Structure 1
Amino acid sequence: MREQFDTLIQAVTRQIADRTLDDTLQAWLNQHYGAQSEWYRDISAACTKGVQDGWMCKHEAQGLKYGRVTKPSDETCGFSVDVVSMQDIRGPHHRHPNGEIDLIMPLTPGARFDGCEAGWKVYGPDSAHCPTVSNGAAHVLYLLPDGKIEFTAQQQ
């Protein structure tokens, strides 16, 4: 299962490695790898199985299950991969020095991440937020350029 997960991630990271993290990328990801795609169904199933098997979301704090699945590498074109399992919760405020690309995989029909349904949400460089899942449970996969994330004391 881990090999399949890595292959699925690398299929996306190879195509987005040199792209600007913005609304155009978000639209492109949702068009080519969105919630209606076979790729999305496969990655969602891999994440669910990875959490069940215990190699994803190995850590738990303040109602969140989380973990870094992949460190930035040449194979992932410099992206790290984190997966978080959340249910009706607001996570800790953090900043994205190089941006953040999120894949939202609802476990509960109608669950939303930062107000968005199943699919991709892209945050540009120097953005920040308190990641929030509402209306149920979801897995959220984070692609972070160079693995950079800064947790802050600030709350928005």
Structure 2
Amino acid sequence: MREQFHALVRTITQALSGQPLDGGLQAWLNQTHGPGSDWFQQMQATCEAGVREGWLCKHEADGIRYGRVIRPSLETYGFSVDVVDMDDVAGPHHIHPTGEVDLIMPLAPDARFDGSPAGWKVYPPGSAHRPTVRQGRALVLYLLPEGRIEFTRT
């Protein structure tokens, strides 16, 4: 499963390489790699298996299971990869110095991440939020350019 996870990550990070992190990218990702796509279904199944097998979301704090799976490298076109498992909870506020690309994989039918259902959510460089899952449980895969994230006290 880990090999499949890495292959799926390489596919998406290659597609993201050099692209501006904006609404256009979000729309493109949802159209080409969204919930109806084979890629999305394979990634969600792989992430669910990784959580069950214990190699994803190994750590826990404040009701959130999480873990950095891949550090930024040439293989991932400079993106780090984190996966979190959240169930009706808000995470710590943070800033995205270089942006953030999130894949939302609901485990409960009505689960929403920052108000969005299954699919992609793109945050541009300099944006900030308190990641929140409501209406059930969801896995969220975070792609961070250069692995950059700044946690705040807000």
TM-score, reference length from structure 2: 0.99
Show structure 1 runs of 4+ deviating over 2 A: none
Q: CA deviation at 1:15?
A: 1.0
SS at match of 1:73: coil
Q: How does 1:126-141 map to 2 (within 5 A)?
A: 126-141=126-141
Task: Give 5+ residue unaligned stretches, structure 2.
Answer: none
Provide Cα deviations, 1:90-133, integer angstroms capped at 9, x if missing partner. 11000000000000000000100000000000000000000000
Report the secondary structure of 2:84's partner residue.
Answer: strand
**Matched positions, count:** 154
Distance, in Å, in 1 between the alignment partners of 2:64 and 2:124 is 24
Matched letter for residue 95 of structure 1: I
One-letter identity of the residue aligned with 2:131: P
| 1:85 and 2:91 aligned | no
After TM superposition, give the deviation of residue 41 of structure 1 in Å.
0.4
Q: For 1:94-133, what aligned pairs fall within 5 Å after superposition?
A: 94-133=94-133
Amino acid at match of 1:146: E
Matches within 5 A, 1:9-88: 9-88=9-88
Instruction: List runs of 5+ in structure 1 lacking aligned partners.
Output: none
One-letter amino acid of the structure 1 residue matched with residue 76 of structure 2 = T
Equivalent position amino acid for 1:15 in 2: A
Q: Which amino acid aligns with 2:101?
A: I
Identity of aligned residues (%): 61
Deviation at 1:21, TM superposition (A): 0.2
Amino acid at match of 1:57: C
User: What is the letter of the counterpart of residue 55 of structure 2?
Assistant: W
RMSD: 0.4
